Chain A
């Protein structure tokens, strides 16, 4: 095991990024067009990066698997984006957002990075507004804010419940302008399947044209992965169906360390599953917890009743009861665990699946009484509509039902302060990297991070990398290029011709999801994790024996796409469990059953686990490296939301 160095600047926290910016080498404007940069993924992180690099004068090649950059998963973010504008004069500041993020992440994130993120947040709003992002406004014409996800200040900017959509369309517009100018060449419906490494540096990618099935190679001076998160490993999640780990997993296998793979976030307010053939779960924005009250029946006999027939005194507002100070606004992990616990104890409501009712009520009757139906609809109208569309029930009349679902992956490729992975020339941004959110992400901070990475951080740190390195000319005939290409070909052949082809990718995905949800969800324990690792090994063997892909590979073949993603998810799943097993503490989004206080609260172990785990790929099994975290400015305290 080695100790990792994040190359953070030192000195006063508020001077670190400024000083670092000055120390970074620059590429003169007339030289920028000589450099080519590959960007994989054009969600918020990737599109904002492509736009900014193009404006600066670099040549950019970008790729995404959807049919347009505008459809990246970022489009689905609902609730909002944080920024330290302090427009509400309620005591917000860069320091407070920094403090909230470090504390929310349960002291498992790097102070320098998080401070930089908080510093850059305000400028993101300026940028977005200038692009025409229609954030919510007051009647006075000023921008509106709300409090979001367990913070005590109103620092969240929002655009109805489509904040991600509007921010992405802004970044997509900016990127489109660079496509028009010729600086950015974009390839939609193209999936990256391998990184090309030459002399220890990432120099290109192998991609598959998803329409024709043709493989091709693309070369550049460096490669950036903005490929999103991996919550779909759990099968049912709030992520879009296409979200996957393949790009980051390929990078891992090429030598980039994977950090904190076990750190995933389970969101408390999702619509519960209603049957076994469900393909995904839908998130109900957390903002609903600002006004909705969560409850479950006090008596098991009431669980199958119509909620209207359950008397007020028979309702258990368990978050208000357990956490009087924060009540319904406790952080996501606290809320999720409490909800799961109530259902595991048999107080859940809704449809019975596998003999359990998975749901609790989120009730708006109080707030409707208080501020009136119209005001509530103005605030949550389209969320209510969305809920009704899916469940056929009107939340203004019948309380919503909610249940936790996998939502976000804090883990991702390990990056240093420059957002570069351990593979030279390979950078990672947005949800694909591990930075900033520690063991738990606060609401409305993923959009902020993706855009800070893309608009403001990477354009500077990539320039530094380009300026400080020399790049030999390489072409398609280079040995390493051909090796990468043929490894992709072989893999596709194996997927198309399994010896005993029987089962679809979906079959394996459901199996994987079940194993991970039960062993590596929001509460974990040694025995179950060890068993899961054995099961996942078996699943991997079974997969390569029995995966069945119909059709041909030189064609638009969605079954083949899914099969390739599944192969990577299964391997990642094993690493998630390994990481969770190694972390013998309860922290952030997760409880380890063996490490809870007598009152059932999470017990962090700073003495032994105040580090980022970064896994290095080896054929015989991944090896752990540690990046030790130093808290110079905020003293780790025990989280207490009681």
Chain B
């Protein structure tokens, strides 16, 4: 297969960027999207050019590092899929692909397709945990958790912190990310005690980082590679009162 790639190139956060166009051929359907970019980078090295920078690590859809907007969709059009799990068999031969970084004020572009998501870490630091000291935990089966509740908590805990929800949101809100963590912990008896303070602190931090607020566009749920549900936002809103 052969593809025309329009890729966002930007030297640093301070300077503007623009699209550069590359043609790549000899791609087979079992090649992943990122492997295609690897091959393009090999060509760039060959031509003495600086490689295209993009984030990745696990390439299994679990670390949350990869983060490309492809033809306008964060993580591409395929639902419930991270960028690293896209295979070129999803695309028709000779398609043109527009590849951009996440775009949000709170996620500065560091270079090319890589953005700064440290705001997410700071939101977690503001309260996204249970305050338990190593060594003070009780015997694990002392506190029982109903299976359905545990499953629900798990579904919220699956968030990989990729930031696609922010990238797609017209308000660049991080509500889905924040709500997922608040829900995960408040559903469990271990985390319930701190629910109120946690929710307020995390919400405050989200605002301080410059993320917008939720006005129910609901795009986030659609692009989230882990299927984090909007129910979590409802749950969060209930606790924030």
Instruction: Give A residues with C-beta under 8 Å from B.
Output: 48, 51-52, 55, 66-71, 73, 75-76, 85, 87, 123, 125-132, 134-143, 159-160, 162, 165-166, 169, 172-174, 176-177, 179-180, 186, 188, 211, 240-242, 274-275, 277-280, 282, 386, 389-390, 392, 455-456, 459, 504, 506, 548, 550-552, 555-559
Question: In the complex, given contacts A173-B128, A389-B87, what are 10 additional A-B residue pairs having Cβ atoms less than 8 angstroms apart?
Answer: A73-B63, A132-B129, A137-B147, A141-B147, A162-B62, A180-B126, A274-B30, A275-B30, A550-B50, A559-B51
Residues of A close to B139: CB separation below 8 A: 126
Number of interface residues of B (CB under 8 A): 77
Which of A141, A160, A550 is within 8 Å of B49, CB to CB?
A550
28 contacts between A and B (CB under 8 A): A71-B161, A75-B58, A76-B60, A123-B137, A126-B137, A127-B135, A129-B137, A130-B138, A132-B130, A132-B184, A132-B191, A134-B188, A137-B146, A165-B62, A173-B124, A174-B134, A240-B63, A241-B59, A279-B38, A280-B59, A389-B81, A390-B87, A459-B134, A506-B38, A506-B42, A551-B51, A552-B50, A556-B53
Residues of A close to B154: CB separation below 8 A: 134, 159-160, 166
Interchain CA distance A557-B89 in the complex, whole Å = 30
Complex contact A132–B55 (CB within 8 A): no
Which of B35, B57, B135, B153 is within 8 Å of A240, CB to CB?
B57
Q: Chain A interface: which of B15-23, B68-76, B115-123, B215-223?
A: B115-123
Complex contact B118–A188 (CB within 8 A): yes
Closest to A77 in B: B62
Given known contacts A73-B58, A188-B121, A129 and B157 CB-to-CB distance under 8 angstroms: no
Instruction: Give B residues with C-beta under 8 Å from A.
Output: 28, 30-32, 34-35, 38-39, 41-42, 44-46, 48-51, 53, 55-65, 81, 85, 87, 89, 110-111, 114, 116-118, 120-121, 124-141, 143-147, 150-151, 153-154, 157-158, 160-161, 184-185, 188, 190-191
Given known contacts A76-B62, A137-B147, A174 and B51 CB-to-CB distance under 8 angstroms: no
Closest to A136 in B: B150
Complex contact B161–A68 (CB within 8 A): yes
Residues of B close to A506: CB separation below 8 A: 38, 42
For the complex formed, measure the closest distance between the CB of A53 and the CB atoms of chain B, giving whole angstroms: 10
Most A Cβ at <10 Å: residue of B28, B45, B48, B190: B45
Residues of B close to A277: CB separation below 8 A: 31, 35, 38-39
Given known contacts A177-B129, A275-B28, A278-B35, A66 and B57 CB-to-CB distance under 8 angstroms: yes
For the complex formed, measure the closest distance between the CB of B44 and the CB atoms of chain A, giving whole angstroms: 7
Residues of B close to A71: CB separation below 8 A: 57-58, 63-65, 161
Residues of B close to A162: CB separation below 8 A: 62, 158
Which of A127, A137, A172, A552 is within 8 Å of B145, CB to CB?
A137
Closest to B150 in A: A137
Which of B34, B58, B125, B145 is within 8 Å of A76, CB to CB?
B58
Closest to A549 in B: B45
Interchain CA distance A118-B10 in the complex, whole Å = 51
| Count: A-B pairs, CB below 8 Å | 207
Complex contact A130–B130 (CB within 8 A): yes
The 4 closest A-B pairs by CB, nearest first: A173-B129, A141-B144, A130-B137, A551-B50
Residues of B close to A128: CB separation below 8 A: 140
Which of B132, B143, B151 is within 8 Å of A131, CB to CB?
B132
Complex contact B57–A125 (CB within 8 A): no
Closest to A278 in B: B35
Complex contact B190–A132 (CB within 8 A): yes
Which of A70, A188, A386, A456 is within 8 Å of B64, CB to CB?
A70
Interchain CA distance A275-B111 in the complex, whole Å = 31
Residues of B close to A75: CB separation below 8 A: 58, 62-63
Closest to A504 in B: B45
For the complex formed, measure the closest distance between the CB of A208 and the CB atoms of chain B, giving whole angstroms: 15
Interchain CA distance A142-B139 in the complex, whole Å = 12
For the complex formed, measure the closest distance between the CB of A82 and the CB atoms of chain B, giving whole angstroms: 14
Residues of A close to B45: CB separation below 8 A: 504, 548, 550, 559
Complex contact B188–A555 (CB within 8 A): no
Residues of B close to A211: CB separation below 8 A: 110-111
Residues of A close to B117: CB separation below 8 A: 67-68
Given known contacts A556-B114, A558-B51, A85 and B38 CB-to-CB distance under 8 angstroms: no
Interchain CA distance A176-B141 in the complex, whole Å = 26
Complex contact B51–A131 (CB within 8 A): no
Complex contact A279–B146 (CB within 8 A): no
Complex contact A142–B144 (CB within 8 A): yes
Complex contact B51–A550 (CB within 8 A): yes
Complex contact B57–A131 (CB within 8 A): no
Given known contacts A76-B63, A275-B28, A138 and B49 CB-to-CB distance under 8 angstroms: no
Residues of A close to B137: CB separation below 8 A: 123, 126-127, 129-131
Residues of A close to B125: CB separation below 8 A: 176-177, 179-180
Interchain CA distance A129-B138 in the complex, whole Å = 9
For the complex formed, measure the closest distance between the CB of A402 and the CB atoms of chain B, giving whole angstroms: 16
Interchain CA distance A69-B28 in the complex, whole Å = 34
Complex contact A67–B55 (CB within 8 A): yes
Complex contact B130–A173 (CB within 8 A): yes
Closest to A172 in B: B124
Which of A141, A173, A555, A559 is within 8 Å of B146, CB to CB?
A141
Interchain CA distance A176-B118 in the complex, whole Å = 12
Complex contact A143–B63 (CB within 8 A): no
Which of A66, A141, A386 is within 8 Å of B65, CB to CB?
A66
Complex contact A386–B57 (CB within 8 A): no
Which of B53, B118, B144, B147 is within 8 Å of A68, CB to CB?
B118
Most A Cβ at <10 Å: residue of B38, B63, B64, B125: B63
Residues of B close to A159: CB separation below 8 A: 154
Interchain CA distance A98-B53 in the complex, whole Å = 46
Interchain CA distance A127-B57 in the complex, whole Å = 28
For the complex formed, measure the closest distance between the CB of A28 and the CB atoms of chain B, giving whole angstroms: 17
Residues of A close to B81: CB separation below 8 A: 389
Which of A166, A240, A282 is within 8 Å of B157, CB to CB?
A166
Residues of B close to A174: CB separation below 8 A: 129, 132, 134
